[in-house]
Amino acid sequence: MLVNVNRRRVLFGTVVVASSIAGCLDEGSDDAPGSETSPDGDTGGQATSESEGGEGGETNEVESDVPEPARDAGEGIIEAVANDDLETAASYGPVEVVEDADREGLRSAYDRFNRPEAVHAIAFSSGETEESLAEELDAEAAISAVYRLEYDVEFQTQQGRYERPVEVYAIEVDGEWSTWIERDGWRLHTRPDATVDVSGDGTTAEVELTDASERTAAFVRGGDIADPSDYRLDEPGDALEVAASEVGSGSFEVVASIEGPNSETAVVLETFSIADPSGWSDVREIVLEGEITGWIGVEPAPVEGVENPTLVLREGMEYTITVENRDGNIHVLELQDEAGERVGTYRTDEFEDAGERREITVTATDELARYVCLPHETMQHGEIVVVDSFDG
């Protein structure tokens, strides 16, 4: 295959580019970027390639038409980034042929990659030509090959040892191999991946884990839950019930994590609110303060100090909802149904001055589902639960 490419533009800006000169990968060059660490040498806990021999000493060659220099270039860029050797990683960059590129820019781009504590093995697993990529490249010099390479990488975190694929793109231009890693192709992290289904009646919620990646668990945290591990889902199909009578009223998060529910890598999958109806039996008036970051509960006691609290109303009973402007921004209170449409005439006019108040008198019906501030709906919103009885 022979494709023309403009050497002033090599997808810089949409991908991270690195270059490995084929001639620098000769076996006699010990200082070549990306060259493998000797099995007898001290790696200092850094990444080493074990594609030939691995920890068990067995050869694990993969049959492929991808030239060995291209494979070596791919391993080299993985090693450099994984070792947090950003200067070396940046030195691979063909800055003389990439428009608006410089070594500091490449180093900064690699710095945004998640890096493990150590890499135990890098094994080439597959490679295929990438015709579509070739078609995107403009032309002054000749590209003789374009590949998408995949490597299986074993890496270490404080929580354990993992294996993830890493994708590397490789092109050969005038006998020089250039490689780069797109952000989505760098998977040496413990970012969890899971989906859950949450349902309920406003006083209880049922959470079911519907899908999860390797070693990923889901947890419920918030309210009076002291230890989210008590509300843990491990396998798809696992389900649990969260009852306000047990964990209190408020907002809760369902998070996915490999490293624990309070890890920085935990990902919020869903949020929900539940309320214990037993504390609402004598309530007839609700007071909220409005600021653009959320509604803050003032009274009754179940909502005091709670941001965007869930309101529990008994069907057929009349309530007064009073809102006060807390920050001097324009606010408008509206009561809505599940579809986000206004229920009846339940909307205030605009009020802008700090300390100014508005109120709505409402008869609770099962249409009511949420309350919002129209100008700040993404931040100022809460749920309304209408119950038949306050007995729980």
Q: What's the rounded mean pLDDT across residues 11-27?
A: 41
Percent of residues, the chain, with pLDDT higher than 70: 78
Residue 274 contacts residue 200 (beta carbons within 8 Å): yes
pLDDT single digits (tens) 56-95: 444 456 778 899 999 998 999 899 999 998 888 777 765 5
Predicted local confidence at residue 93, as pLDDT = 65
**Residue 31 CB contacts under 8 Å (≥ 6 apart), including other chains:** none
Backbone angles phi, psi at 336, to 5 degrees: -130, 165
Q: Is 279-387 the same fold as 194-274? A: yes
Q: What is the C-alpha to C-alpha distance for residues 272 and 147, in angstroms, rounded to an integer? A: 46
Domain range annotation of the chain: 3-185, 194-274, 279-387
The topology (CATH level 3) of 194-274 is Immunoglobulin-like (2.60.40)
Percent of residues, the chain, with pLDDT higher than 90: 45
Q: What is the C-alpha to C-alpha distance for residues 374 and 372, in angstroms, rounded to an integer? A: 6
Please tell me the pTM assigned to this model: 0.49
Provide the sign of the torsion angle of the four alpha carbons 15, 21, 26, 32, taken in this order.
negative
The topology (CATH level 3) of 279-387 is Immunoglobulin-like (2.60.40)
SS3 state of residue 79: helix
pLDDT single digits (tens) 330-357: 999 999 999 999 999 999 999 999 999 9
